[in-house]
């Protein structure tokens, strides 16, 4: 096969060759004990860490999306109080560094020693295990980002179409569900895929509060055997693997929504229940 741009082909070939040579050189001369890397790659403790990392990612993404959708719907609301609340939420949890937020959540007892309603209350320390704190911090953080993504998706839908729907007598609620939402999702879904990959790696920050995620498990092992770099490589290999799986999933989803029928109907049907109450954006077409 001849490339139409021989210069480009030459440069990429040279770069690939150089990269390959670099890798070979690294393996041949490095002091890294690759056999140890290979051994620990399939250690049960590492597998447990993967299990926790994937669990954290899925749980936090799920809660983050729920929080984000709620916050986005509030932020496009015509009334000022929910709008202000959503803006405050986004500002707060996008602004606090995730690492600090994780530590704050873990030490929530310092802010509120007991939580509950009236007579019924429990010690915060009992509820706020390191895993709960991790999920809480990650979800709150993610929710703030998802809020902006969902809001952007909804606002990306052409106002003229909303107006046309309203002019046809289609109700505000149905306009949101049938016209706005399916089109917003084509923007929201790819961005959510991106966020999921980000979350996969962000979970590693919970190692500071001792959740047994992939990175923490690797750290536990290297504090005993001092194979620091080897175990970090093990963790990285798995992170890369998980990211690859997530990327494939994202590709698949994008392909699915770009095939028009799915984008228009199936996705809308799937989320109809979840976002049925949000039609704030339609208010902009309401006569004022």
Partner 1 sequence: MSSAMISIKNLHKSYGAQEVLRNISLDVGSGEVVAIVGPSGSGKSTLLRCVNFLETFSSGSITVGGEMIGYRESGGKRRLLDEKEIDKQRAEIGMVFQRFNLFAHMSVTQNLIEAPVQVRNVKPDAARLYGLELLQKVGLEEKRNAYPEHLSGGQQQRVAIARALAMRPKVMLFDEPTSALDPESVGEVLAVIRQLTGEGMTMMIVTHEIGFAREVSDRVVFMDDGRIVEVGPPSDVIGNPQNERTRAFLSKVL
Residues in contact with partner 1 by CB under 8 A are 158, 160-161, 163-172, 174, 178-179, 182-183, 186, 260, 263-264, 285, 287-288
CB of 184 to partner 1, least distance (A): 10
206 or 267: CB nearest partner 1: 267
HSE toward the beta carbon, residue 202, CA cutoff 13 A = 25
CB of 18 to partner 1, least distance (A): 44
Structure tokens that stand for 164 in this block: 């046309």
CA dist., res. 285 & res. 274, Å (int) = 23
Backbone angles phi, psi at 24, to 5 degrees: -60, -45
CB of 168 to partner 1, least distance (A): 4
CB of 161 to partner 1, least distance (A): 5
38 or 265: CB nearest partner 1: 265
CB of 132 to partner 1, least distance (A): 40
53 or 183: CB nearest partner 1: 183
CB of 271 to partner 1, least distance (A): 14
Asked whether the beta carbons of 183 and 165 are under 8 A apart, the reply is no
78 or 113: CB nearest partner 1: 78
Strands, DSSP E only, in 164-246?
none
28 or 167: CB nearest partner 1: 167
- Of the candidates 36, 60, 16, 30, the one whose C-alpha atom is nearest the C-alpha of residue 237 is 36
25 or 158: CB nearest partner 1: 158
- Of the candidates 49, 37, 25, 1, the one whose C-alpha atom is nearest the C-alpha of residue 233 is 37
- Of the candidates 227, 208, 200, 244, the one whose C-alpha atom is nearest the C-alpha of residue 50 is 200
CA dist., res. 212 & res. 228, Å (int) = 17
């Amino acid at each position: 096969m001849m490339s139409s741009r021989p210069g480009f082909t030459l440069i990429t070939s040279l770069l690939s060759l150089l990269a390959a040579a670099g890798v070979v050189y690294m393996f041949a001369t490095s002091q890294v004990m690759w056999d140890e890397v290979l051994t620990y790659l399939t250690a049960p403790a590492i597998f447990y860490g993967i299990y926790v990392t994937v669990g954290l990612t899925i749980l936090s993404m799920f809660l983050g999306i729920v929080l984000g959708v709620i916050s986005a719907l509030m932020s496009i609301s015509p009334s000022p109080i929910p709008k202000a609340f959503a803006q405050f939420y986004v500002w707060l949890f996008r602004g606090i560094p995730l690492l600090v937020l994780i530590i704050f959540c873990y030490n929530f007892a310092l802010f509120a020693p007991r939580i509950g309603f009236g007579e019924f209350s429990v010690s915060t320390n009992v509820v706020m295990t390191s895993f709960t704190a991790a999920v809480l911090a990650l979800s709150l953080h993610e929710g703030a980002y998802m809020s902006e993504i969902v809001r952007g998706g909804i606002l990306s839908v052409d106002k003229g179409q909303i107006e046309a729907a309203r002019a046809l007598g289609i109700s505000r609620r149905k306009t949101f569900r049938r016209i706005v939402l399916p089109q917003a999702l084509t923007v929201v879904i790819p961005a959510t895929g991106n966020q999921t990959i980000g979350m996969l790696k962000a979970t590693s920050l919970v190692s500071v509060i001792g959740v047994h995620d992939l990175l923490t498990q690797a750290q536990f092992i290297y504090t005993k055997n001092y194979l620091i770099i080897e175990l970090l490589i093990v963790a990285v290999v798995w992170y890369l693997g998980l990211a690859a799986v997530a990327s494939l999933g994202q590709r698949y989803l994008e392909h699915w929504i770009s095939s028009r029928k799915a984008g228009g109907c199936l996705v809308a049907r799937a989320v109809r229940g979840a976002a049925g109450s949000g039609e704030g954006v339609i208010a902009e077409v309401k006569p004022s």
